[in-house]
Structure formats: structure tokens, C-alpha cells
Amino acid sequence: MSGSNRMAPLLAMIKTLMAAAALLAALATAQAATFSARRGLNLDQWVTWPGADRWADAETMLPYPEWRKFLGEAELKALKDAGFDFLRMPVDPSPFLAADNAALHDRLYAGVLDSARMINRAGIKVVVDLHLIAAGANRGIGMGEVMRDPAAFDRYVEVVRRMARTLSGEDPALVAFEPMNEPVVDCEADGTDLWPERQRRLFAAARASATRLTLVLTGGCYSSAAALARMEPKDIPDDNLVWTFHSYEPFLLTHQGAGWTGDFMPYVIGLPYPLDALPRAGLDAALDAIRAGIRKKAPFARRHGLDLAQFHEVLLSGQLACDLLRAKVPLLEKGEFPPQAAIRNVCESSRLVVETAKESGVPAPLAEVSLALNRAAVDLGFGDEDMIAVVKAYEAMGGGPL
């Protein structure tokens, strides 16, 4: 593989998010911590995002984390040569919380340790970050379940304990441990104060297993600065800590092109940082290209200047409101269609309805149209996506994005 081709996965996987910058700022001021750093990046936790039904498959899961399949020592050395001295390595803890892949857990923990050592061998320090994400159609446990279910949180504490024990023998000047990324709890609307006690439990589990490593702690509500300000550091009497917050402002810049954010963000591509890095004519051209992309590709509501949240509210306030619509409208907004009811299955149900109607001599014109549209979606390769992805067949017919 050529040098340029080998670097392409690196550019796709490494996220220079503001979270790393906030962590860097904390590290620079934490005099008592054994771990210090100056300039870093985040690695990505997944590239292919396998569902929980594949977490027991060693070929899918190893080496772990998945970036190891795409980045090698040469790419890490290139980061070192570029002046980066630490990497934050997100590790998805959900596979450790699953029961049906227990036979693979030892190898997953060992993979995390091997990955940290690989980064260290390149002359780069590493923050091992347990990075929960939301559950979804292809995974049954995530941040919400861990925060809502005491039993799930107990299991998470044990994952923290074992991960800390796995890392405990490493050089504390080269390895730090972050027990939880961006806890989704104690946001203003909740009116709760649950995170301080939960973080104390995570700290206790981690410190009992890793007595020398610097631990990275944070506030609740997505590790926001405001939530961190509400924390009382004296409640955790330990000098070998880094307290961190995450900031993504300006969101338009830091999340440009991120399809999972929904709305118009997938079409915002090419904004430079800082904005004056391009001549004015170049910046205007970039903005014109973004506007053109929104007009051509964005969902109907966005193309016509409607507020998507308000549009969503209107739909759910009328006679069409139902649980099904509440589940499908967010998928349309994001343009992502994880299968809740796959088009292929809906197509088969539609076929049975149409055939039964014909056999009974009952006209079913709308069912016939629905069957035709679902068949078109299957023929176009969308059969394994959610039923609402039939909009892609409509678009392919020239209807334009919905």
C-alpha cells in the first residue's frame, strides 16, 4: 500500500475534536498528575460499527479497538513526527457488558492493553477512554441503560475495575485512564444530582485496581464546563487526577459533515479553521457549495427553510401522531435507517396483503402502490434498511430528497 493510501484511513479515523483540546488544557495545569501532555488527538472507536450479534465473532472484534485494522506503527510514527505527544483512545465498553460474548472478554481486554503499548512504542502517550454511546437497533446496551438501570451500572463499575487492573502495570507517565466519557446524566432538564456519587464509585473501582495511573474525571451532562463547575473536587481526595470538560463550539465547524447529528450538518463540508485560513473568495465559494448542497440534497423541511424541530412537532401534534411516526420521523431527519422493521420484511407483508385482497376480490390500490415502492427499494439495495428508507426509492425515481 502506498504512503498516501496508508494515510487515508488515518485521516478518516482521527478526530481532532475539541474534547482533546479540553483534556489537553486540563493536563497542562494538573501539577500533581503523573501523566502530562501537550498536543493530542482522538482516535475513533469504530469504523464498521458491528452490531451486538457479531460481538462474539473473533474475526470481527479483533484486534480491539477496531482502529488497529486500519492504522499501523508507521501511521502512529507519522503522528509523532507531526508533533503530537498523546492520543486519546476511545474504547467501547458495551461489548464488555454483553454476556453472550463472555468467552472473548479476556482477548478484548488484552487487545486494549496491546493497543496502548503500540501507541507507547511509537513514542506517544495514551489516555484509555471508556466511551459509551447510545443503544440502538443493533445494540441493546449503551449510555442510557447504564445510567437508568442500577444493575447495568454495577456491571459497568466492574468493567472499570477490570480495565484499570489491565492497565495497572503500565508506566504512569505514558498511560492514563478515563473511566467514562461524557456521562449523560444531571442535565438541567433532569433536575437530578446523581453523577457525583456515581463518579465516586467509578473512581474507587479504578483506583483500587490502578494505584499509580492518572485518572481522568469529569462533570455530568456530556462533560460540559457548567456541569464540571458544579462538582466538588475535594469529594475525591486524590492528587493524581485530571479534571476535564468538553466543548464543541462552534458546533458548525467541529461537526461539519457529521451525518449522525441530523438536520443540515451532513451537507456542511469544507469550512476551514480558522475561517480566515482561506482568502475571502475561497470562503465564499465554500459557503456557496454548502448552500447548494443543502438545496439539492437536504430533507424537504430543511430545503424549504423550515425548522426541523418545529416541523417534527407539527407532525406529531396532528391526526397522524402515533408511536410509529414518533419512531420514524427522527430517522428521516438524520437520514440514517437502522432496521427496526426492514424493508425486505415489509415488502413480503405487503405482497401477502395484495395477494389476499386480489383473491378476495377486494380493491387495494394503496397497498399495491406500497408494494411497488417497497419492491423498488429492495431492487435498489435498500432491503436491509428500515422501512422508512423507502424514501430512497422515491428519490431514485426523481422525487428529490424528502
Q: Residue 16: what pLDDT?
A: 42
Decide: helix, strand or coil at residue 188.
coil
For the whole prediction, is pTM greater than 0.75? no
Q: Is the pLDDT of residue 13 over 70?
A: no
Segment holding 176, helix H or strand E: strand 175-178
Per-residue pLDDT band for 340 (boundaries 50, 70, 90) equals: confident
Residue 375 near residue 327, CB atoms below 8 Å: no
Dihedral (CA of 14, 17, 23, 28) sign? positive
Q: What whole-number distance in Å separates Cα of residue 393 and Cα of residue 389? A: 8
- Per residue in 182-228, pLDDT (tens digit) is 999 998 765 788 999 999 999 999 999 999 999 999 999 999 999 99
Domains in the chain with CATH codes: 3-248 (3.20.20.80), 337-402 (1.10.1040.10)
Least confident range from 75-84, 308-317, 343-352, 366-375: namely 308-317
Q: Pick the residue with more confidence: 3 or 98?
A: 98
- Per residue in 217-273, pLDDT (tens digit) is 999 999 999 999 999 999 999 999 999 999 988 888 888 888 777 667 788 888 888
Q: Is the pLDDT of residue 353 over 50?
A: yes
Residue 86 near residue 42, CB atoms below 8 Å: no
